[in-house]
Amino acid sequence: MQQSEKLFSRAQKTIPGGVNSPVRAFKAVGGTPRFISKADGPYIWDVDGKRYIDYVQSWGPMVLGHNHSAIRQAVITAAENGLSFGAPTEAEVIMAEKVSALVPSMEMVRMVNSGTEATMSAIRLARGYTGRNKLIKFEGCYHGHADSLLVKAGSGALTLGVPSSPGVPADVAQHTLTAEFNNLASVEQMFAEYPDDIACIIVEPVAGNMNCIPPVEGFLQGLRKLCDNNGSVLIFDEVMTGFRVARGGAQERYAVVPDLTCLGKVIGGGMPVGAFGGKRDILTHIAPTGPVYQAGTLSGNPVAMAAGLAALAELENESLYPHIYHLTEALVNGFQAAADKHGIPLTTNHAGSMFGIFFTDLDKVTNYQQAINCNNEQFKQFYHGMLDAGVYMAPASYEAGFMSYAHTDALIAETVSAAEHIFSKL
Ligand code: PMP
């Protein structure tokens, strides 16, 4: 750990907290974040040369595993022709056609550089399209760090938005209403309160930022109906779930069609890429065809498009989804059996290749309050035990885990055996 420790203390002198994204600092679990020097397939290596089985996979993008040869080669080939032109390219057209084919509700697609940009732009578009101000989001759902989305719930369902970060003006936050995930009644109340001013609902169709919480039966269908009845836009934030919980995302898995979809992570194959899109009738309101402004110097970047297209091409592999679903199920079932054997109160969730484990007596975790009431002390001990054993999981109990195509049954067995050893001592 020596090199990581040295780098972390050096980093903190010139980078706030030593990191460029907060969760990397290990604040939730304590200790020194591992500085990573390389990754390949299911593994990452830290700067001290220690290898880990990786269940973070760059927070989701690497559904094929790290350093995939086809993606790497596509990036090298594209880079040989120049890094950025600021003018349209064929790769962007192919990308839009490909996304539209994989996610049919995305009749038109606009590329951006991150998930944050995708959700921020989709919200602006929904507001511009409807001429309304307010949006409904769900407690515990994260949609990137745009001002109007950095709002968490007050105590009651109808509490007006309170900013969850200094720097977000109350005037902006007041238009964000926060409902309870998996609770349609809390959403209905908001429509009753503001019948003509709700521009959109934005939801992670499988929540992956309060650990992993799938939608309960009827929840997404209910949101669809409420939006239809009230003239509001339904936005699925599939930055995490896109191409991961099914080839066509959560909308395919749960058979609910949103008006707008946000993508990120997998669509860039590891490069900084996001996208939003949806109904033609809505997308034509964006500049230059419409008045809602949105732009980007590096949007549709040729190297990023090459990486993304190479990643999406690999999704055609018929064995990909069965393999990652099977491994995800094997992993959570293995964790559950090991915990049961040693009397550790634990429950798990999973959807496609996303999973979560919760240290709790509850049979199932279905909302934010339940997720944050889990035993964080046990999680921390588990986390560091796994890290020592060479298993890299998300360094916070409220993050989902991710499986890749490069993982194997043998690695799952190794992971479960490491977990069992820790459970036996908790
Ligand atoms: N939406 C969801 C569901 C996410 O999980 C994330 C990031 N984890 C974002 C949006 C923001 O994406 P980015 O970090 O690329 O801005």
Instruction: Say what the pLDDT of residue 120 is.
Output: 98
11-52 pLDDT, tens digit each = 999 999 999 999 999 999 999 999 999 999 999 999 999 999
Catalytic residue among 43, 46, 137, 237: 237
Q: Where are the alpha helices (DSSP H) in 231-292?
A: 250-253, 280-283
pLDDT average, residue stretch 299-316: 98
Instruction: Say what the pLDDT of residue 156 is.
Output: 37
At 399, list the tokens.
């993050």
Closest CA to 241 of 123, 94, 103: 103
Select from 23, 59, 116 the residue to mutate for testing ligand 1; criterion: most ligand atoms less than 8 Å from CB. 116
Is 147 in the active site? Answer: no
Question: Tokens 């999704």 label which residue?
Answer: 315
Is 341 in the active site? Answer: no
DSSP 8-state class, residue 45: E
| Centre of ligand 1 from the C-alpha of residue 59, in Å | 9
Is 265 in the active site? Answer: yes
DSSP 8-state class, residue 127: H
User: Is residue 204 within 6 Å of ligand 1 at its C-beta?
Assistant: yes
User: Is residue 59 within 6 Å of ligand 1 at its C-beta?
Assistant: yes
Select from 112, 239, 251 the residue to mutate for testing ligand 1; criterion: most ligand atoms less than 8 Å from CB. 239
Give yes or no for residue 157 having a pLDDT over 80: no
273-284 pLDDT, tens digit each = 999 999 999 999
In angstroms, the CA 334 to CA 4 distance is 31
- Residue ranges matching CATH 3.40.640.10 in the chain: 69-314
Q: 328 and 355 in contact (C-beta within 8 Å)?
A: yes
At 235, list the tokens.
């936005």
Instruction: Say what the pLDDT of residue 124 is.
Output: 98
Instruction: Say what the pLDDT of residue 258 is.
Output: 99
- Residue ranges matching CATH 3.90.1150.10 in the chain: 2-63+318-423
Nearest atom, ligand 1, residue 119 CA:
10
User: Is residue 207 within 6 Å of ligand 1 at its C-beta?
Assistant: no
Q: 190 and 156 in contact (C-beta within 8 Å)?
A: no
Burial level of 319, CB count in 10 A (0-12/13-18/19+)?
A: exposed
Catalytic residue among 43, 55, 142, 398: 142
Nearest atom, ligand 1, residue 274 CA:
15
Residue nearest to atom 10 of ligand 1 (CA): 143
40: left (phi over 0), alpha (psi -120 to 50) or beta: beta
Q: What is the third-level CATH fold of 69-314?
A: Aspartate Aminotransferase; domain 2 (3.40.640)
Is 2-63+318-423 CATH 2.60.40.420? Answer: no
Percent of the chain topping pLDDT 70: 97
> Hey, how many other C-beta atoms are within 10 angstroms of the C-beta on 268?
25
Q: Where are the alpha helices (DSSP H) in 316-425?
A: 320-341, 368-372, 376-388, 409-423
Instruction: Say what the pLDDT of residue 165 is.
Output: 80
Instruction: Say what the pLDDT of residue 167 is.
Output: 87
DSSP 3-state assignment of 198? strand
